[in-house]
Amino acid sequence: MGSYRAFAELLCCPTCKGAFAPATGEVLPCGDARCGKRFPIVDGRPVLIDEDRSVFHHRDYQPGQAAPLKAGAGRAGALRRWVSRLPSPGVNLSAVRCFETMKRLLLERSSAPVVLLVGGGFQGKGMKALTGEPALRLVNVDPSPDSAALIFCDAHDLPFRDGSVDAVVAQAVLEHVADPWRCVEEIHRLLKPNGIVYAETPFMQQVHLYGYDFTRFSHMGHRRLFRRFAELESGAVAGPGTALAWAWRYFLASWTRSRPLAKALALFGRITAFVFEVTDHIFGQRPGALDAASCIYFLGTRAETVVSDRELIAGYRGTQR
- Is the CB of residue 252 less than 8 Å from the CB of residue 266? yes
In Å, how far are 35, 140, 184, 237, 247 from 170, measured between CA atoms? 29, 10, 10, 13, 24
Distance CA 60, CA 72 (A): 21
Q: Which is nearer to Zn ion, 11 or 105 (CB)?
A: 11
Q: Which is nearer to Zn ion, 11 or 187 (CB)?
A: 11
Distance CA 299, CA 100 (A): 12
| Minimum gap (Å) between residue 48 Cβ and Zn ion | 10
Which of 13, 236, 244, 289 is close enough to bind Zn ion by CB under 5 A?
13
Q: Which is nearer to Zn ion, 19 or 55 (CB)?
A: 19
16 lies in the site for Zn ion, by CB under 5 A = yes
Distance CA 321, CA 315 (A): 14
Q: Which is nearer to Zn ion, 18 or 221 (CB)?
A: 18
| Minimum gap (Å) between residue 188 Cβ and Zn ion | 20
Distance CA 227, CA 176 (A): 20
Which of 19, 21, 23, 35 is close enough to bind Zn ion by CB under 5 A?
35
Instruction: Identify residues 36-65 at the interface with Zn ion (CB under 5 A).
Output: 37
- Is the CB of residue 280 less than 8 Å from the CB of residue 239? yes
158 lies in the site for Zn ion, by CB under 5 A = no
Total residues contacting Zn ion (rule CB under 5 A)? 7
| Minimum gap (Å) between residue 46 Cβ and Zn ion | 13
Candidates 6, 222, 5, 181; CA nearest to 94 is 222
Query: Could you list the residues that contact Zn ion (CB under 5 A)?
Result: 13, 15-16, 18, 30, 35, 37
